[in-house]
């Protein structure tokens, strides 16, 4: 407890005072000056300046270079005028930093050299120490000096999604080995998920101590689970992460793909803001997230990233619809329903920001 209090005090002194920032006002259920907007995967693939900077530089090398990390993170703020920056990173960064042999293979995604499928494999996983992510926290400190009044969102992968990559050995459509391990060896599963929750929590705390203004926990593949399996095998570990950063007093965002049936459980895990993908209208998401006796839910989303390739009248109509539906919630942060696709025209993203700010 003494260590946690010391970390919280340190983070409070490092964090900027941005009480009027529309993103933070909306995330806390207040009334912002305008509807805030940022985009998942805004820092990266769609921007020509990003591609020039990253040319010949492997993904993880870029993530561990403080100056490059900071420049990539700030590029979409500079270009689009979004209301928040999100730290340029990847969900496997803390695993790689801890010493797990996992890499990002171009055209494939995260690939683990040695899959984790037994009690012995779990026990062999190293614990992450804050010093091992020093390059990332150095990048955060550079960003808080450069971003002015724009909030910075910290970033980490949730235990289930990390576990799936480790168990499967890489990306998986069906998560068959993961689900089989959950049900056939639940003790091994919980040991693995608990270990990953500690790693994720250490990573997020390090970012918070360096000065990030909010955090987002990505459980990208949680939508592959039933409600029962989510509550049994996933919710306790995601809750351990989100509860573990509660004392910092910053907004906690939780997002997954295909999680329409899991939204109430994701809020229960400790989310202040629940990200919604494009499959569910925001007014219906707000209805599902409403809990008697609790503050009205705050939602984030949820334009289909593919629709950014449509004509502008189509994009405009969709943006207007989503902003209208978002008013059913206690707060709304405009975003996509998943990440920016690589071939998206950056000019369209800029126009979306301008439109959202005008509504």
β-pairing, 85-86 vs 152-157, is parallel
Integer Cα distance of 301 and 333 in angstroms: 7
Catalytic status, residue 45: yes
- The one catalytic residue among 28, 41, 205, 252: 41
Catalytic status, residue 177: no
Integer Cα distance of 61 and 300 in angstroms: 30
The helix or strand, by DSSP H or E, that contains position 111, with its residue range, turns out to be strand 109-112
- The one catalytic residue among 45, 134, 177, 279: 45
Integer Cα distance of 180 and 216 in angstroms: 28
Is 150 strand, coil or helix?
Answer: coil
Gyration radius of the chain over CA positions: 19
The helix or strand, by DSSP H or E, that contains position 96, with its residue range, turns out to be helix 93-98
- The one catalytic residue among 15, 28, 54, 252: 54
Query: Bridge partners of 156?
Result: 217
- The one catalytic residue among 15, 79, 165, 219: 165
Catalytic status, residue 54: yes
Q: Which of 221, 251, 233 is nearest to 197 (CA)?
A: 233
- The one catalytic residue among 65, 83, 90, 213: 90
Q: 230 vs 128, 157, 255, 256, 285, CA distance in Å?
A: 25, 16, 14, 12, 18
Catalytic residue numbers, as ranges: 41, 45, 54, 90, 165
């Amino acid at each position: 407890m003494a260590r946690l209090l010391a970390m919280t005090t340190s983070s409070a002194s490092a964090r900027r005072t941005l009480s009027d920032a529309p993103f933070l006002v909306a995330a806390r259920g207040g009334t912002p000056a305008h509807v805030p907007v940022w985009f998942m995967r805004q820092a990266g693939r769609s921007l020509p300046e990003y591609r020039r900077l990253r040319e010949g530089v492997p993904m993880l090398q870029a993530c561990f270079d403080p100056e490059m990390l900071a420049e990539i993170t700030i590029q979409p703020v500079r270009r689009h005028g979004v209301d928040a920056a999100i730290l340029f990173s990847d969900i496997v960064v803390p695993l790689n930093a801890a010493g797990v042999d996992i890499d990002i293979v171009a055209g494939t995604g995260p690939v683990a050299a040695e899959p984790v499928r037994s009690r012995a494999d779990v026990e062999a996983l190293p614990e992450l120490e804050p010093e091992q992510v020093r390059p990332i926290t150095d990048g955060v400190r550079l960003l808080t000096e450069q971003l002015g009044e724009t909030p910075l969102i910290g970033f980490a992968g949730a235990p289930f999604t990390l576990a799936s990559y480790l168990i499967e050995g890489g990306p998986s459509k069906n998560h068959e080995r993961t689900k089989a391990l959950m049900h056939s060896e639940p003790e091994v599963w919980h040991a693995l998920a608990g270990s990953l929750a500690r790693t994720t929590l250490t990573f997020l705390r390090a970012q918070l101590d360096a000065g990030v203004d909010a955090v987002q926990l990505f459980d990208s593949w949680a939508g592959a689970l039933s409600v029962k399996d989510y509550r049994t095998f996933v919710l306790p570990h995601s809750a351990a992460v989100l509860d573990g950063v509660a004392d910092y007093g910053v907004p906690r965002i939780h997002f997954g793909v295909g999680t329409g049936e899991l939204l109430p459980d994701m809020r229960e895990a400790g989310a202040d803001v629940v990200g919604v993908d494009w499959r569910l209208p925001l007014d219906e998401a707000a209805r599902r997230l409403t809990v008697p006796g609790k503050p009205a839910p705050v939602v984030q989303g949820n334009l289909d990233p593919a629709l950014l390739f449509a004509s502008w009248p189509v994009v405009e109509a969709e943006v207007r619809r989503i902003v209208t539906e978002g008013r059913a919630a206690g707060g709304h942060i405009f975003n996509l329903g998943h990440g920016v696709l690589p071939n998206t025209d950056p000019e369209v993203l800029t126009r979306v920001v301008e439109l959202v700010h005008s509504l």
